[in-house]
């Protein structure tokens, strides 16, 4: 890394990224629109297709927000201990079950129309789910991963698969072996502002996800603990020599990442109204794809990757009647890993294989 490249980077004009994002979003919108128009089973006119395309566009952003929240945990854990935490998808799944358990225990079954109560219940659901899953993440790290920090790389990876089996099977046996209906407490209200129309739940999810991501960026970038996390990720031994408590820092990383997955789990319940013991695997794999797509270890990239995956999924389901969306997402994963393993925003990772 020479000083010239560093200078060239700092000179990069800041309007490029928003412009690229705007162009990408516009392209995505028209691809979705094209898919809806091309659907032979509907035969829609242009005017009828537009509201549908808009709804699908918002849907893509919402799904993308969920993936982005999960992807952040993957990328943080990978950044700090170079472990693909297979159990992370199951943390997300458990989070959805915690919020289901809380809401049904409190006696809610449908929309809450009192705004004050709604805000209170939402705060409670997110706080409980994030806290519980954060603690679960820390416990998993302590019991299953910490001892293997210096073991051959295969060992913690296999342990992570084992942990994911355990979590999934516990939910399967203790809670339910089939799809569970979760209370959708946010009322189904359509908000209209000029030509744009958006459902309350979509708006809520997008705002929530974005604010959590901003909070995370501030936490990592501006706080003492965030600095400890960054330095541990760069060089664990050197960080330790500088007085960083490695174990606490790694535990904290697991806490934050798992709490975000817990939040994504609550969103899953609120948005889709269902959850099931095996959603964690697929969601985890897709979120991991998002993390890789954005450049693993890079939190901004993970968030970006999440939205890209959301759009990919919606586009492929619009064009292929939903059947091929999984294959498309995993196909993208394979292609990205093969041709650009550093991802969209990824920095060059040290090769430790």
Partner 1 sequence: MSGPETPTATTADAGAGRSVRKPAPAWRVALGQVGAYLGRHQSLTIVLGLAITAAALPLIVLLPPLNGFGTQKDFVGGFADAGVFVLLAIGLNVVVGFAGLLDLGYAAFFAIGAYTYAYGASPFSGLDIPFWPMLLVGALVAAMFGVLLGAPTLRLRGDYLAIVTLGFGEIVPVVFLNADKYTNGTNGIVGLAQPSLYGIMGVDSFGFTNPWPYFVTVVAIIAVAFIFLYRLQDSRIGRAWVAIREDELAAASMGINTVTTKLLAFSIGASTSGLAGVFFASKLSIVSPDQFGFTVSFTVLAMVVLGGMGNIWGVAVGAFVVYEIQSQGLKQLGSFVQGLHLPTLTLGPLSLDIGSINFINFQYLLFGLALVLMMLLRPEGLFPSRRRRSELHESPEEAAESNVELVQA
Near partner 1 in 280-299, by CB under 8 A: 281, 285, 288-289, 292
Matching residue, tokens 């929240």: 69
For helices 279-294 and 88-105, angle between their N-to-C axes, nearest 10 degrees: 130
Please classify residue 198 by burial: count the beta carbons closer than 10 Å to its beta carbon, then call 0-12 exposed, 13-18 middle and 19+ buried: buried
Name which of 19 and 106 has its Cβ closer to partner 1.
106
Q: Of the ranges 33-41, 147-155, 222-230, 233-241, which one interacts with partner 1 (CB under 8 A)?
A: 147-155
Near partner 1 in 149-178, by CB under 8 A: 151-159, 161-170, 172-175, 177
Sign of CA pseudo-dihedral 174, 180, 181, 184: positive
Binding residues for partner 1, total number by CB under 8 A: 52
Name which of 163 and 233 has its Cβ closer to partner 1.
163
In the complex, the smallest distance separating the C-beta of residue 328 from partner 1, rounded to whole angstroms, is 9
Contact 299, 347 (CB under 8 A): no
Name which of 61 and 76 has its Cβ closer to partner 1.
76
Q: 313: which residues sit within 8 A by CB, 6+ positions away?
A: 60, 63, 286, 325, 328, 329
84 near partner 1, judged by CB under 8 A: yes
As given in the structure block, the two tokens for residue 327 are: 């294959």
Q: Of the ranges 7-15, 198-206, 256-264, 319-327, which one interacts with partner 1 (CB under 8 A)?
A: 319-327
104 near partner 1, judged by CB under 8 A: yes
DSSP symbols for 60-113: HHHHHHHHHHHHHHHHHHHHHH----TTHHHHHHHHHHHHHHHHHHTT--S---
Q: Of the ranges 20-28, 57-65, 97-105, 309-317, which one interacts with partner 1 (CB under 8 A)?
A: 97-105
In the complex, the smallest distance separating the C-beta of residue 223 from partner 1, rounded to whole angstroms, is 29
In the complex, the smallest distance separating the C-beta of residue 196 from partner 1, rounded to whole angstroms, is 35
Facing residues of 274 across strands? 181
In the complex, the smallest distance separating the C-beta of residue 330 from partner 1, rounded to whole angstroms, is 4
- At CA 138, angle to CA 230 and CA 184, rounded to 5? 105
Q: Of the ranges 101-109, 112-120, 195-203, 239-247, which one interacts with partner 1 (CB under 8 A)?
A: 101-109
Give the integer Cα–Cα distance in Å for 133 and 348. Answer: 31
Name which of 144 and 203 has its Cβ closer to partner 1.
144
Give the H or E element holding residue 301: helix 299-320
193 near partner 1, judged by CB under 8 A: no
105 near partner 1, judged by CB under 8 A: yes
Which residues sit at the interface with partner 1, rule CB under 8 A?
A: 82-84, 101, 104-105, 144, 147-148, 151-159, 161-170, 172-175, 177, 281, 285, 288-289, 292, 323-324, 326-327, 330-331, 333-334, 337-338, 341, 351-353
């Amino acid at each position: 890394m020479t000083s010239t490249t560093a200078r060239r980077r700092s000179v990069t004009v800041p309007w490029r990224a928003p412009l690229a994002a705007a162009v990408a979003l516009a392209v995505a919108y028209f691809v979705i629109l094209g898919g809806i128009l091309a659907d032979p089973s509907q035969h829609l006119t242009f005017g009828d297709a537009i509201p549908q395309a808009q709804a699908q566009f918002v849907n893509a952003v919402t799904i993308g927000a969920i993936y982005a929240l999960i992807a952040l945990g993957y990328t943080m854990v990978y950044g700090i201990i170079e472990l693909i935490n297979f159990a992370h998808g199951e943390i997300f799944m458990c989070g959805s079950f915690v919020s289901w358990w809380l809401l049904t225990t409190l006696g809610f079954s449908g929309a809450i129309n009192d705004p004050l109560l709604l805000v209170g219940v939402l705060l409670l659901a997110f706080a409980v789910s994030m806290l519980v899953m954060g603690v679960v993440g820390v416990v998993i790290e302590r019991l299953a991963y910490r001892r293997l920090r210096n073991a051959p790389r295969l060992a913690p990876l296999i342990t992570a698969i084992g942990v994911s089996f355990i979590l999934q099977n516990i939910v399967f046996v203790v809670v339910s072996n089939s799809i569970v209906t979760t209370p959708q407490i946010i009322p189904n209200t359509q908000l209209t502002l000029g030509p744009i129309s958006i459902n309350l739940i979509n708006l809520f999810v997008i705002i929530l996800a974005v604010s959590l991501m901003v909070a995370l960026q501030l936490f990592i970038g501006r706080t003492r603990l965030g600095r400890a996390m960054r330095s541990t990720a760069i060089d664990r031994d050197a960080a330790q020599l500088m007085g960083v408590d490695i174990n606490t820092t790694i535990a904290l990383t697991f806490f934050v990442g798992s709490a975000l997955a817990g939040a994504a789990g609550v969103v899953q319940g609120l948005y889709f109204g269902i959850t099931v013991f095996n959603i964690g695997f697929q969601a985890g794999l897709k979120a991991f794809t998002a993390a890789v797509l954005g450049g693993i270890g890079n939190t901004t990239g993970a968030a970006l990757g999440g939205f890209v995956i959301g759009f990919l999924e919606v586009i492929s389901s619009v064009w292929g009647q939903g059947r091929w969306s999984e294959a498309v997402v995993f196909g993208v994963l394979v292609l990205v890993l093969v041709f650009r393993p550093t991802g969209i925003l990824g920095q060059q990772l040290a090769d430790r294989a």
